[in-house]
Structure 1
């Protein structure tokens, strides 16, 4: 009888401990372009609040679909408003829980060792001379926000149709960056924040802000809890904003 009682008590204690841990083990799903900034912010948050946080990164479209299929996200940060709206329209996230967190900019990059310098982005011949029949790396323009912004910008410049067949569509912006880093593409279009993290590429110019939709990163609480609200508020704090600024977010 006593042995059974001890076993039952231990089971109950372990169950309570497991539940308590699970309640403070947060999961933040974020666009891959936020990897470095979120990693640092999460580290600061964990140290300050003694709450465990797991970060999951990927393309915003992929993450949004994972969340609609039941992925255990507590907070989601998208690289554009489209995929946040997708979750709102799907009834997964309430509209009033969404807030715009930071902004970014779009730049054209080339391998560090390349002779390419800044050129007129509205001049199709200039693009062709640099590409020399090779690929232009960018996120998949059908689903990846960075690629969607790039398509908007090149369409605005009147050269998208001519360059479309030379696009090397990547699953996310970090993969597009990697193609240029490895010299597999002579040019790429990525976020400024990604470009400035790499010592293997150089920025040859910036695509005008008025040539594409504003690059906004909306964030939202997916699973409401005291801890998720705590983390959500911390993402908007001056401490977190300083980290975002350090990595080039505006």
Structure 2
């Protein structure tokens, strides 16, 4: 009986240790492929389980606010990190800049459209031809918020607003164009590069919208999390991010709000 009890205790202890060796990473949808590769590059070096959760930054931030067990958060927008800071869920010393991105206009690969004069309403209407413009939710999803800023500065927003197909994340906007359910879409350059079904017909000037930053947020204090955070700011991680088209701001010590 004593041996059985000792065996059960040993099993429970091992289970507890194993449970502690799990890292949950909440990451913006546009980071899906890059984060998958980052995890694949790091995980074999460590006896732990790194679990990614991908969604729109707004949805992830709200889940974190409600107590979701995330260890690391990679947002595609400064505002949602500021939201967590204001709620005292994270402190600014746990936030650094990881990467940047670019906003682009895409069409299906079969489209005859190769470029667009983006400050010309008539050109937009002709290109859409009664179809829709796929875009992230302009009130909450970062890519949609950036897109709205750009379209407003180009003075075409009011004309295009009724034609929007708003989605919960950037990958859904990309999918609408891939399936030809929307003639055009505004996504990140990195997402456009991942698809062989779409082409870039315009790259928006960065002056048209807020800087597209990917803040890296550490939510928990454990040695395994600390070590993975160091890896995410390493030269190897930087190279992986660049391969996916991200501009890299790895190693920034502080984040200005």
TM-score by length of 2: 0.95
Which of 23, 26, 31 matches 1:29?
A: 26
Which of 204, 225, 230 matches 2:227?
A: 230
Secondary structure, counterpart of 2:7 in structure 1: helix
Structure 1, unmatched stretches of 5+, are none
2:35 matched to 1:38? yes
- The aligned counterpart of 1:247 is 244
- The aligned counterpart of 1:10 is 7
- The aligned counterpart of 1:214 is 211
RMSD value, Cα? 0.8
Q: Distance in 2 between matches of 1:76 and 1:124?
A: 38
2:184 matched to 1:187? yes
Q: Deviations over 1:54-94 (max 9, x none)?
A: 01000000001111111110100000111111111111111
Q: Distance in 2 between matches of 1:68 and 1:13?
A: 36
Matches within 5 A, 1:133-212: 133-212=130-209
Segment of structure 1 superposing worse, 180-189 or 20-29: 20-29
Secondary structure, counterpart of 1:116 in structure 2: coil
Moved over 6 A (4+): none
Structure 2, unmatched stretches of 5+, are 248-257
- The aligned counterpart of 1:79 is 76
Q: Distance in 2 between matches of 1:20 and 1:171?
A: 37
Cα contact 1:45–1:51 (8 A) shared by 2 = no
Secondary structure, counterpart of 1:196 in structure 2: helix
Q: Distance in 1 between matches of 2:209 and 2:144?
A: 11
Q: Distance in 2 between matches of 1:43 and 1:12?
A: 33
Which of 100, 104, 107 matches 1:107?
A: 104
